[in-house]
Amino acid sequence: MNPVAPAELSALLDSELPSQRADEVRHVLRADPALASAFENLARLDAAWKAQAAGLAFRPRASLQHGLRHRCLRTGALLLGLGGLRLGLKLAPPAFEIVVALAVLALVVGWGVGYLIRTSEDDCWWLVRRAVRLGPSEAAAGP
C-alpha cells in the first residue's frame, strides 16, 4: 500500500479520492492514531469554515432576461439618438449644431462623472456631504 500523502487527507475530506484509494487511506488512518488525529482536526476546522462561508450565500438580483432587455433598450436608444442626430443635422439651422454639440458634451461629461462616482452608498453620501459643505463655504470665502 502506498503511504498517504498529506494532500490526500484533504481529498478524502472532500470525497475527491477514487473509492479504492479512499479505502486504503481510511485503513491507514485506523492504524495510525497521530495521522487520524490530524485528520479529525482538519475535518473539524473544515466543518467550521463551511458553516461560516454558508452564511454568505444569497440570491442575487440578477437575471439573463433583465440583462438582455436592458442591453436591447440601450442599443435601441443609441441607434435612435444617432438617427435623430443625423436627421437633425441635415434639416435644422446651424444653431442646432451648437445645441447638439453641447448636449453630446454634457452626455460625455455626465457619463464620465457617473462612472467615477458610481461607488458604494457610503462613498456617495460622502460625496454629497462634501459638495454641500464646499458650496456655501466657498461662496462665503470668495473674493
Partner 1 sequence: MVLRDDRRAQFERWVEPLMSRAAAYAYSLLRNRADAEDAVQDALLKGYAGLDNYDEARPFQGWWFAVVRHCCLDLIRRRQIRRSFLRWLGRQPAAAPATSQAEELLRYLERLTPLQRQVLELRYFGDCSYRDMAETLGIPDGTVMSRLHAARQALAEIYRKEQT
The residues of the shown chain that bind partner 1, judged by CB under 8 A, are: 6-11, 14, 16, 41-42, 45-46, 49-64, 66-68, 71, 115-123, 126-127, 130
Nearer to partner 1, 2 or 63 (CB): 63
Give the span between the Cα atoms of 84 and 78, in whole angstroms: 10
Nearer to partner 1, 30 or 71 (CB): 71
Asked if residue 8 lies in contact with residue 17, where contact means CB atoms within 8 angstroms, the answer is yes
Give the span between the Cα atoms of 136 and 138, in whole angstroms: 5
Least distance (Å) between residue 65 CB and partner 1: 8
Least distance (Å) between residue 94 CB and partner 1: 37
Ramachandran quadrant class, 38 (left: phi over 0; alpha: psi -120 to 50; beta: rest):
alpha
Least distance (Å) between residue 74 CB and partner 1: 12
Asked if residue 40 lies in contact with residue 12, where contact means CB atoms within 8 angstroms, the answer is no
Asked if residue 83 lies in contact with residue 93, where contact means CB atoms within 8 angstroms, the answer is no
Nearer to partner 1, 69 or 86 (CB): 69
Nearer to partner 1, 53 or 140 (CB): 53
- The C-alpha cell 442575487 sits at 60
Least distance (Å) between residue 8 CB and partner 1: 8
All 3 cell numbers of residue 76?
435601441
Nearer to partner 1, 22 or 100 (CB): 22
Least distance (Å) between residue 92 CB and partner 1: 37
Read off the DSSP letter of residue 142: -
